[in-house]
Each structure stands twice: as structure tokens, then as C-alpha cells.
Structure 1
Amino acid sequence: MIDWSVSDSSHNGRVALVTGAARGIGLGIAAWLIAEGWQVVLTDLDRVRGAKAAKVLGDNAWFIGMDVADETQVKTGVAEVLGQFGRLDALVCNAAIADPHNTTLETLSLAYWNRVLAVNLGGPMLLAKHCAPYLRAHGGAIVNLASTRAAQSEPDTEAYAASKGGLLALTHALAVSLGPEIRVNAVSPGWIDARDPSQRRAEPLSETDHAQHPAGRVGTVEDVAAMVAWLLSRNAGFVTGQEFVVDGGMTKKMIYT
């Protein structure tokens, strides 16, 4: 587990932009990359929490507020990153309206549907669009955070499932359009316990929760962060246009009730 209160003071010269990084998986990814020596720019709609997270992560963290569905904010934010650091090597698109449960299809409003797709699918497109020239200059990489719900659903999850399915298609389209200079991949988490540490301690998951996974446990943000960090590394130089499922084996398990 990463101690988010301590960051490595070393710097490998590379700069990463991580969206939705004020909490959960995004924060875990930012912390992991900082531990590997990256300079990380965290973005989030929650400016107060995002600024506090960056302060805790230390000198290699910097925060800017951003609504990824707003092209003006995306364009301005990317310009801020370039103005501050002069380069961009990696983009991690994690920001999302993440609660997969919605109302029934009959009561699903078009406004909510459009907002979910604008954030979860439009956001990664806008970020790729405005980051591409700078990523290309340094042989950079993009990782999109999709979901196992792109392939399987619970009731009343139309907007979320559609957005994540579209994100997988966007990922391979971007990989073909932006290659070979920029690699683009997707990570699809399954059940990840991304709650705040205090909540995890107060309401621990049950043995049944863990045991139903072939890997023997529910996932952690560090499980996802490790995969993202590898995909951004030089070791993944021959990997692009792919989806990597991090779910403890659940999507391969046949379940009969």
C-alpha cells in the first residue's frame, strides 16, 4: 500500500496529467506515479479536495480544477500544464460520473444521459485532442479508465455502460489515429475498494465479498495504479489499442444462482 503522506523527492523528468484525481482510483494512480518519480498534475471538479490531495502528495504534485466535459476548461488546463512544466508525457483519463446505478430506463432523463456521456466519453476525447501535440513530441501515452461494465451490466445502468463501452472503442480508434508516436490503452477495473481509508476501517468488506473473487480478494486502487504505471512505461512500448481487465478474475467466472 502507498503511504500517500510521503512522496519520493526524486523526479524522472516526465509529466503526467491525471483526471478525477482528488479521490479513489485517480488519487491512487497519482500517488503511484509520484512514487516512481513522475511530476503529476491532478485535476478534478472538487477543487478543495484536489488541492488538499496535491499538498499531501508533496512537491511532485500540482493541482488544477477542470470539468473534462468543458472544452474551454480542458484547453485552458492543458495550456497551464505546458506553461508550468514545458512538456507532457502521459495522460490518464479517469474522471467519470462513476455511480453505475441510475433510474429505470423509463425515467432516465436525456439531460442525465448526455451529462454522463459528455464526462465519461467526451472528456477523454477532448483531453486526447488537446494533449496530442505535446504527447507526440515526447513519445507519450494515454490510458483510459473504462470498466468491466462495458461488457456486463446490472439493471438500470444504461448511461454508464454505454459510456464505458464507447470508451473502449475510442481507445482503439485513438491508438490507430495517434500511433506510432502515441500509445493508447484502456484499463477496466472490476470491484475496487476505492473508499477513503477511514471508511474502509469503519465498514470493512466481508469474507464473502473477498472469497467470490478467483483472486481471493476485492481489488485495491494500487492494483489499478500498478497496471496504469506499467502501460505508461517504456516496458509497454509494443502495447497499444488494448483493454486490460483488472477484476480479480470475476468476468471469467461462471456464476449460477
Structure 2
Amino acid sequence: MIELSTPSAGSNGRVALVTGAARGIGLGIAAWLVSEGWQVVLTDLDRDRGSKVAKVLGDNAWFIAMDVSNEGQVALGVAEVLGQFGRLDALVCNAAVADPHNITLESLDLAYWNRVLAVNLSGPMLLAKHCAPYLRAHSGAIVNLASTRAAQSEPDSEAYAASKGGLLALTHALAISLGPEIRVNAVSPGWIDARDPAVRRAEPLSEADHAQHPAGRVGTVEDVAAMVAWLLSRNAGFVTGQEFVVDGGMTKKMVYEQ
């Protein structure tokens, strides 16, 4: 069962495309935007779940399948959005090969490296390329979902860290290239408990998991969604080319062992 809470706010007439939206942070962002009255187009590789969550989200949600690393699918998907709604106001690039860990560098498979970069970095570039003309027409905005792992790492996370670091650079490059008509920003989540509600209830995080954060808890998808929604809003009209870290303060905390 898919559990979502999306109080209806009618329609604000604006259309957002959210990638990787069948679960986790992407789904949280889509649900938040629907609650604010956006028409949201969800994309994902998982057709079955994507279609189900769009149905749960209601009339303001629509699903299309898309591999963001495939330019043909990106171009076709954007054309479908324009054919269905006639406009595009926002792009949220969340789709990613999300597991940060791979095997040791000496055993790292080049095909895996290339797949991670294709989805996590080339995908947002392709989406920006094909969405830009339509976003420009409505002074739209792009938000890329990066990661605190762009700036700090655990062992054996080279592909993921490199892709997210590249995404931050792509963000400010796009902001300069597409401005002033299109604003482009990045959100870098820290530890976000993006599991389905039933899993969170069955396997709750420990007190220590929460207590280590200066904010006193692990993050939620709503924490990220609220930031993304603000960056897409007209209230953020003077904000572009920036990274916003949503990590409960962890990247500002000294972690040296005593």
C-alpha cells in the first residue's frame, strides 16, 4: 500500500516535471507540489509504482516513464508534457543511481561508473537542454538534487561523489547560461529517512541516529520538499546558482574522535 498525505489546494496553473518521483525524496517533492496546487508530471523507470503513486496523488499528478540518461526518452517525455499541458514552469532533477557505495576503487567497473554519471549528471543536463525553451517562456526554475557527499565522503563512493560534485558545477554553469529567464539551484540533502512509512514504523531509527544531528533528528522527505518548493516559488526570484544544504547541521559538526 502506498501512503501519502496530499491536501488539495486546487490548481495554481503551473506545471512541474519531477524525475525519479516514484518513491523517496522525489515522491515527497511531487506530493508537496501537488498540495500547493501545481500540476506535477512524475517520471521514473518504475512504470507500475509510478502510475500507482500518480493515481494516489490525484488529478494534479500525471506519470510518464523515462530513463533520464536516454536523450530520446527525455525529448519524447518533454514533448508529451507540452502536448498534455501546453507549458512547463519547473524542472526538478531528482532521478539518480542512489546507492552511494560501490566496491573498492581497484575493482570499480567502468560500466558502473559510466552508468552512475549518465543518470546522475548527464540526465540533468539532458533535461535542462530539452526543457529550457519552455521554462524560458514562463520564467521558470530548475532544482537539481545533489548531496552532501559532493563535499565529503565515506570509502568506496567515488562514482556517486563525483556525479554529485559534477552536478553542483553543472548547476552554477546552467544558472549563468540560462539566466535571467531561468533560475537554477541545487539542494544537497544529508541523511534523509526516505523509506516508505510502513518500513519506517517497522524499523524505526535509533535515538543515537537522531541525536548525532545538531538539529536533533534525521531528516524527512518533507524537509527537502519544502526547500525545493521555495526555490521554485516566486519568493526565491533573486536566488540562482546556489547550493542549499539540508542536513540538520551535520556538515558543520566537528567529528574528530576524542
TM (norm. structure 1) is: 0.98
The separation in 2 between residues aligned to 1:175 and 1:112, in whole angstroms, is 29
Partner of 2:191: 191
Contact 1:147 1:189 in 2 (8 A): yes
Give, in angstroms, the shift of residue 256 of structure 1: 1.8
- Once superposed, which parts of structure 1, at least 4 consecutive aligned residues long, lie more than 6 Å away? none
Partner of 1:144: 144
Kindly indicate whether residue 157 of structure 2 is the aligned counterpart of residue 154 of structure 1: no
The residue identity in structure 2 corresponding to 1:103 is I
Kindly indicate whether residue 117 of structure 2 is the aligned counterpart of residue 117 of structure 1: yes
The separation in 2 between residues aligned to 1:197 and 1:174, in whole angstroms, is 35
The separation in 2 between residues aligned to 1:5 and 1:146, in whole angstroms, is 25
Contact 1:94 1:144 in 2 (8 A): yes
The separation in 1 between residues aligned to 2:9 and 2:53, in whole angstroms, is 16
The residue identity in structure 2 corresponding to 1:45 is L
The separation in 2 between residues aligned to 1:9 and 1:177, in whole angstroms, is 34
Give, in angstroms, the shift of residue 5 of structure 1: 4.7
The residue identity in structure 2 corresponding to 1:160 is Y
The separation in 2 between residues aligned to 1:183 and 1:246, in whole angstroms, is 19
The residue identity in structure 2 corresponding to 1:198 is A
Contact 1:191 1:218 in 2 (8 A): yes
Give, in angstroms, the shift of residue 205 of structure 1: 0.4
Cα RMSD (Å) of the superposition? 0.8
Partner of 2:23: 23
Partner of 2:107: 107
Residues 38-60 of structure 1 show CA distances to partners (whole Å, capped at 9, x for unaligned) of 00000000000000000000000
Look up the SS of the partner of 1:99 in the other structure.
coil
TM (norm. structure 2) is: 0.98
The residue identity in structure 1 corresponding to 2:63 is F
Kindly indicate whether residue 207 of structure 2 is the aligned counterpart of residue 207 of structure 1: yes
Partner of 2:131: 131
Partner of 2:47: 47
Partner of 1:246: 246
Partner of 1:216: 216
The separation in 1 between residues aligned to 2:99 and 2:115, in whole angstroms, is 13
Residues 56-83 of structure 1 show CA distances to partners (whole Å, capped at 9, x for unaligned) of 0000000000000000000000000000
Look up the SS of the partner of 1:142 in the other structure.
strand
The separation in 2 between residues aligned to 1:243 and 1:200, in whole angstroms, is 28
The separation in 1 between residues aligned to 2:68 and 2:15, in whole angstroms, is 19
**Percentage of identical aligned residues:** 87
Aligned counterparts, 1:48-127, within 5 A? 48-127=48-127
Look up the SS of the partner of 2:76 in the other structure.
helix
Contact 2:101 2:156 in 1 (8 A): yes
Contact 1:9 1:59 in 2 (8 A): no
Partner of 1:181: 181
Contact 1:18 1:30 in 2 (8 A): yes
The residue identity in structure 1 corresponding to 2:16 is A
Contact 1:7 1:57 in 2 (8 A): no
The residue identity in structure 2 corresponding to 1:105 is L
Give, in angstroms, the shift of residue 6 of structure 1: 4.0
Look up the SS of the partner of 1:254 in the other structure.
coil
Contact 1:42 1:62 in 2 (8 A): yes
Residues 83-140 of structure 1 show CA distances to partners (whole Å, capped at 9, x for unaligned) of 0000000000000000001010011010000000000000000000000000000000
Look up the SS of the partner of 2:205 in the other structure.
coil
Relative distance call for 1:5 and 1:213 in structure 2 (3 A) is closer
The residue identity in structure 1 corresponding to 2:8 is D
The separation in 1 between residues aligned to 2:225 and 2:165, in whole angstroms, is 21
The residue identity in structure 2 corresponding to 1:191 is W
Partner of 1:14: 14
The separation in 1 between residues aligned to 2:5 and 2:58, in whole angstroms, is 8
